Amino acid sequence: MDIIKLKIRNYQSWPKRSGKADILKHLRGERITQRQAIRAKCFDCSGGDGGRCTIRSCPLFPFSPLAGNGEQVDAENDKECPSS
């Protein structure tokens, strides 16, 4: 089984959260918007838990559906993306 099919199967077992449908569409080769791509990456990075994003150094942080509104980058208290 190729890596894409494995990822699809893996993501299908994750809980339904913002970005899940977007990442599955992308992996199936369907076109997605920029907003959907951001949600997909945030879903992947968060492990599908839907918790609040704490990776303030991520270039997608200001656009993340999981980030708090108006928060500034604080590299000192930054966390690593678990999917990296």
Q: How many domains does the chain have?
A: 1
Q: Could you give the dihedral angle defined by the CA atoms of residues 38, 44, 46 and 50, in that order, rounded to the nearest 10 degrees?
A: 70
The answer to whether residue 26 is domain-embedded is yes
pLDDT of 49-70, one tens digit each? Answer: 877 888 889 999 888 888 865 5
Residue 84 lies in a domain: no
Q: Say if residues 41 and 11 touch (Cβ distance below 8 Å).
A: no
Report if residue 83 sits inside a domain: no
| Residue 82 belongs to a domain | no
| Mean pLDDT (whole number) for 25-51 | 91
Asked whether 25 and 34 are in contact (CB, 8 A), the reply is no
Look at residue 9 and tell me if it is in a domain.
yes
pTM, 2 dp: 0.75
Two tokens, residue 25: 């569409």
**Measuring CA to CA, which residue among 2, 1, 4, 41 is closest to residue 19?**
41
Domain hosting residue 22, numbered range: 3-77
26 against 16, higher pLDDT: 26
